Amino acid sequence: MRENRKSRITSARLPSVHDIFWAAKSGDIELIEKCYKSSNISEIQANDRFDRRGFAPLHYAAQQNETDMIHYLLKNKADVNIRGYDDLTPLHVAAKYNSLSAVRVLLDNGAEADARDIDDSIPLHEAVKMGNLKVCKEFLNRQPSLINVTNKDLQTPLHIACLRGKIGVCQLLVNKIVSTSSELLKTAIDGCMPIHYAAEQGNVQIIETLLDAGSAQGINFDKQLQSTDKEGRTVLYRAVQGGKKSSVLACLEHVQDISAVKMDGMTVLHEAASGGFADITDILLKHGVSINAQDELGKTALHAACGYGHIKVIKALLDGGADMRLADSRRRTPLLFAIENGQLDVIKFLLKQIPKVDCVDVQDKNGLHIAASHGYIRVLTYLIMKGARSHVNNKDVFGRTPIHYAADEGYTQIVDILFSNGGDLNYSDIDTNTPLHLACKKGEFSCVKLICDKSLAQLNMYGERSRTPLHLATINNHANIVEYLLQRGADINKRDGSYFTSLDIAIDRGYIEVAEVLLSNRANVNLTNSNQDTPLHIAARKGDIKTLELLLHKGGEIFALNKDNMTCLDLAIDNANKDVALLLVNQKGARSILMRTDSKGWTVMQRLVQKLPEVAKAIMDQCVEYSGRDRIAYEYKMKCDFTFIDPGPDFEENHTIEIRNKMVIPNHNALQTMKRFKRGELLNHQLSKVLLDSKWRSFGSYFYYANLAIYMIFLALLSYFVVDVRSSSYNSTLVRAFYPKVAPTTDPPVHVTEWSNPITTINTTWPSIFTTEVTEDTIDEDDIIKKKPINYAIQILVIIFVSVNLSKEAYQVFHKGLRYFRSGTNYIELCMYGFSLFLMIRPGRSPDAMQWICGSLAIWLAWVNILLFFERISSLGIYVIMLKTVLYTFLKVMFIVIIFIVAFAFVFIILAENEDVYGSFSLSCIKVLNMMVGEIDYNDIFVPAITNKTIPYPYNYMTMITLIVFMFLMPILLTNLMIGLAIGDIDQIQKSANLRRLANQVDFLDDLERSIPAYLRKKFHKSMAIRYINSLPYKLYSLIYGDVTDNNESSLEPNDEQFRKVFTELDSHQHQMKNLSLQVDKVLKLLSDRKCDKEHDSLLESLQTPI
């Protein structure tokens, strides 16, 4: 048959890798040779390939004891120690399958006898497990030390042999241990010695062999038999545990003391009783074991037998004198222990011995308590029949009767039995809970129904924490029980000890189904608890949107205040529950709760801006209404309600707050809150912009243009003074340059007449000029002021203007406090006013040099400051703010620029010291800065200096290198870097500038409004505004100040269209990928099944069809 199988394999086809495994299993040398010689199989594939079992060819050859095949594979470089599944080597496999010849060949060819598998087992362990005696002898003869090698569980070969009951192998190993003087009493990981395993398996012959071997090594019997494992079990204990009578008898022949106990106090008798070994129990009792010995829990062997229902053992123990009344540490007798474990037959037997059912445990629980708590119907019925009916209402230490426990566990039938036998349903435990309370708490509907059918007296009784059954059913989310209790008449609005109604509890815990049941049964939705919270308050605090919707639908009042004077909306804001707040602000009548303030003076809108800007935006959207059918019609208008974002001065006066014992009028302007918390989207909202525009039209523009006009007058006067006085001083200097100085004298004036012809002609033409008397007094610059009184008047007017404005700045410091110093504009104005005052400080006299220096700064700052005025005009202000943004960005990188300027300045001082432009550090820095902007002056400075050797060798080379590095680094890289950083993303800067302009406008208008008298504020205040956005006046106004009605909604539409296109394209790609996956699956199926060519061709045709 084997030859026929070989012949089928060695057919006229190329051998495959699978044939190698077949050859190894069958020992077919001819086939394996063909495989090795085949061109499509490499040597590595032949020797080291594994099959699905994780075995190599050498494993199979070892398993089948094919020595010739093993020789052939090893000859062809197969790894003798190759590891397969679970790290098994061929030697492991040969040892396991008793392939002695294979073992010898493998060992002769270098196989490791101590090689370990995944469980740290060596080949000898495998041979011992299977009882392969000859293989074991072969290993031990070759390497005796293997007898002490342990596996992962620290088991030696002898442990394994005893555990498996391999007698012949045990004798071999014991003889080898004795002959080699190895350790016989080695312990495994659980502390067991080989004799423990032998005793548990009941191998008396092995036990005797081990005892004799121990004697040969000087170890007496008692030492071996009294040794314990890690749980304190002796050899006798393990023999009893295994239920092996022969082992027990063998141990008892040599053991003197059988009273040894396990670590938990259990004796051998406990173990025998637990296992139900009646014959062993008899033997132990005959050998004098203590019959009433107790373990750590106080249980005797009788307790154990009763708990497991071993009647024969119980009889043996009782016959031996066991005490039925002896209780354990819980004061439970064997009878109670049997009841606890539901052993009815044992109960019957014990009650025949002592018909007494009134015993109780340490908690005063009798048999009925125990049976009821475990649901033992038959046990309970039998106990009642045997006289326990009189104890049916007995209470334990918790004040509970058996009915309490049955109701608590939902044992309806037991409740019915107890009630039928006199059980009282109205008894309360120490927590004042009746059985109905416990049944409702656990959600046992059938039990609740039974109790209510029997008695409704408990329906509204208070239990623990003054809770009724309805409260407990609600707390535990038992909607069906809640509904049933309400149908039977439970008080729906009754409060518990925390002053909560059932509806409060359901809302607080988020039990919407229970809440629906309560509300459908007319629970009062507006009752308040001890904090005066209504259910709406509780739901808003929890953020439960579904429960809130239910309460609102059932008539919940959103205006109710709790003891902290907070509405449900206030609680939603404090807890940042956005969805809840959105729902509340959209309710009818929400306007009244939006017009409230808290103890800190914040309006609801201000708090929404701070914590829930999305909700604030929703409210602002509602405050903007459009009317008119045609959007392009003239009468199409936009109506804006400012009530929520700017309640006005009357509202603020009526809602003053006390700060440091002083009544203060708070600022309820929500625009300031938007600015403070950087809510750009809200600040850029239509409503905000229209409000700013309305304030601007009402009073802001008048004050602004009046201030601008006054400032323009100041600027004109200052500019005129500077130009006029400096030009007059310049003409005086020319006179001093053309005329020699003549000392003052008492003689008549000297006339200069002896001039050349041209001058004479001039003298004749303009005699008043060239006949003027030239003295020191003639060119006194103070005459410039005196001869033009207008300049003197300008000095006085500028001093007055500056003084008034400095007073204004002082008032602003007092009014704003530290906020004043956070604005850079204020520093510019202070410096401008200071320098202007210093310039004019001597009225009637021309400024000196220091004053003119300050004057130059003053006139520069004055013209720069006018740019800041234009920030208020939207069409110009955005560009001013953009310029400031770019300037701030530039100043951030100036430190780096200065370092490079200083570095190159020092370099050029050293290399070009003879050049005037680099003569000093200051001049060198200025020149480097000039070079940075492109004025390198290469032909004018460096070429002549190097040619004339003003910059000599080797400085000239270093100078050129430094100049090249400078040109790449400063004008190209660094300049472009600063431009890039300064300009950056223009669109982003523009958006930021627009928001900053709005923020500045908020500050300007709010400060201005609060600086004017209260009656003017009230006069200027407007609670609403209407804009006819298609009217010509509005369009003209928008050209200057911008369109405040633009909401930029249309800009989103193209993006939406793009997203739709993208998703459509993605769906198309997904469909194509699905089709492609199906085609690939067809190809794989064809290749795996090796179908015929016709099918292959048809598949190729299908693949050619487009996807």
Q: What is the 3-state secondary structure (H, E, C) of 813-878?
A: HHHHHHHHHHCHHHHHHHHHHHHHHHHCCCCCCCCCHHHHHHHHHHHHHHHHHHHHHHHHCHHHHH
Provide the 3-class DSSP secondary structure of residue 638: strand
911 lies in the same domain as 886: yes
890 lies in the same domain as 979: yes
Is position 741 within any domain?
no
Q: How confident is the model at residue 6 (pLDDT cuts 50, 70, 90)?
A: very low
**Of the candidate ranges 261-275, 601-615, 750-764, the one whose mean pLDDT is the lowest:** 750-764
Q: What's residue 1036's pLDDT?
A: 78
884 lies in the same domain as 931: yes
- The percentage of the chain sitting over the pLDDT mark of 70, rounded to a whole number, equals 84
Q: How confident is the model at residue 1096 (pLDDT cuts 50, 70, 90)?
A: very low
361 lies in the same domain as 349: no
pLDDT digits (tens, 9 = 90+) for 1024-1036: 998 888 777 777 7
Q: Give backbone dihedrals phi and psi of 664, rounded to 5 degrees, phi first.
A: -125, 140
Is 1037 or 225 the better-scoring residue by pLDDT? 225
Decide if 1017 contacts 698 (C-beta within 8 A). no
- CA geometry: angle 316, 319, 325, nearest 5 deg: 100
Could you give the CA distance from residue 1049 to residue 4 in angstroms, rounded to a whole number? 87
Q: How confident is the model at residue 832 (pLDDT cuts 50, 70, 90)?
A: very high
Nearest of 132, 159, 251 to residue 199 by alpha carbon: 251
Last residue of a domain, one of 458, 489, 513: 458
Is 743 or 845 the better-scoring residue by pLDDT? 845
> Alpha-carbon dihedral of residues 766, 769, 770, 775, nearest 10 degrees?
170
Nearest of 580, 587, 584, 585 to residue 543 by alpha carbon: 580
Average pLDDT over residues 354-373: 93
- Above 90 in pLDDT, residue 750? no
22 lies in the same domain as 62: yes
- Above 80 in pLDDT, residue 982? no
Is position 663 within any domain?
no
pLDDT digits (tens, 9 = 90+) for 160-217: 999 999 999 999 999 999 888 888 889 999 999 999 999 999 889 999 999 988 888 8
Q: What's residue 778's pLDDT?
A: 42
Q: What's residue 554's pLDDT?
A: 93
Average pLDDT over residues 991-1020: 85
Could you give the CA distance from residue 466 to residue 349 in angstroms, rounded to a whole number? 46
Q: What's residue 405's pLDDT?
A: 96
- Above 60 in pLDDT, residue 74? yes
- The percentage of the chain sitting over the pLDDT mark of 90, rounded to a whole number, equals 51
Decide if 265 contacts 329 (C-beta within 8 A). no
20 lies in the same domain as 79: yes
287 lies in the same domain as 392: no
Average pLDDT over residues 934-946: 82
Is position 490 within any domain?
no
Could you give the CA distance from residue 587 to residue 359 in angstroms, rounded to a whole number? 67
**Of the candidate ranges 121-125, 189-193, 1013-1017, 1092-1096, the one whose mean pLDDT is the lowest:** 1092-1096
361 lies in the same domain as 444: yes
Residue 897 belongs to domain spanning: 878-991
Could you give the CA distance from residue 964 to residue 960 in angstroms, rounded to a whole number? 6
Is 847 or 1102 the better-scoring residue by pLDDT? 847
pLDDT digits (tens, 9 = 90+) for 560-614: 999 999 999 999 999 999 999 999 999 988 988 999 998 888 999 999 999 999 9
- Above 60 in pLDDT, residue 9? no
Q: What's residue 731's pLDDT?
A: 52
Q: Which two tokens stand for residue 802?
A: 């500056």
330 lies in the same domain as 369: no
- Above 60 in pLDDT, residue 1072? no
- Above 60 in pLDDT, residue 393? yes
Q: What's residue 1099's pLDDT?
A: 36
- Above 80 in pLDDT, residue 1057? no
350 lies in the same domain as 393: no
Q: How confident is the model at residue 398 (pLDDT cuts 50, 70, 90)?
A: very high
Is position 891 within any domain?
yes
User: Of how many residues is the chain composed?
Assistant: 1107
Is position 67 within any domain?
yes
Average pLDDT over residues 60-81: 90
Is position 985 within any domain?
yes
- Above 70 in pLDDT, residue 1064? no
Q: What's residue 572's pLDDT?
A: 95
Last residue of a domain, one of 594, 626, 643: 594
- Assign residue 350 the CATH number of its domain: 1.25.40.20
Q: What's residue 944's pLDDT?
A: 84
Is position 10 within any domain?
yes
**Of the candidate ranges 362-366, 777-781, 965-969, the one whose mean pLDDT is the lowest:** 777-781
- Above 80 in pLDDT, residue 1093? no
* Averaged pLDDT score across all residues of the chain: 83
- Above 80 in pLDDT, residue 317? yes
Q: How confident is the model at residue 142 (pLDDT cuts 50, 70, 90)?
A: very high
1065 lies in the same domain as 1089: yes
Strand 1024-1027 relative to strand 637-641: parallel, antiparallel, unpaired? antiparallel
Interaxial angle between packed helices 986-1011 and 874-911, expressed in degrees from 0 to 180 and rounded to the nearest 10: 120
Last residue of a domain, one of 101, 123, 145: 123
Q: What's residue 661's pLDDT?
A: 79
Q: How confident is the model at residue 1071 (pLDDT cuts 50, 70, 90)?
A: low
Is position 962 within any domain?
yes
Q: What's residue 534's pLDDT?
A: 95
Q: How confident is the model at residue 729 (pLDDT cuts 50, 70, 90)?
A: low
Task: Give the full edge-to-edge strand order of the sheet including 637-641.
Answer: 624-627, 637-641, 1024-1027
pLDDT digits (tens, 9 = 90+) for 468-515: 999 999 999 999 999 999 999 999 999 999 999 999 999 999 999 999
Q: What's residue 401's pLDDT?
A: 97
- Above 80 in pLDDT, residue 755? no
Could you give the CA distance from residue 356 to residue 352 in angstroms, rounded to a whole number? 9
Q: What's residue 370's pLDDT?
A: 96
- Above 50 in pLDDT, residue 765? no
15 lies in the same domain as 98: yes
Q: How confident is the model at residue 293 (pLDDT cuts 50, 70, 90)?
A: very high
pLDDT digits (tens, 9 = 90+) for 666-697: 899 999 999 999 998 999 999 999 999 899 98
Is 591 or 9 the better-scoring residue by pLDDT? 591
Q: How many domains does the chain have?
A: 6
Q: How confident is the model at residue 1082 (pLDDT cuts 50, 70, 90)?
A: low
Q: What's residue 607's pLDDT?
A: 95
- Above 70 in pLDDT, residue 1043? no
- Above 80 in pLDDT, residue 104? yes
Q: What's residue 504's pLDDT?
A: 95
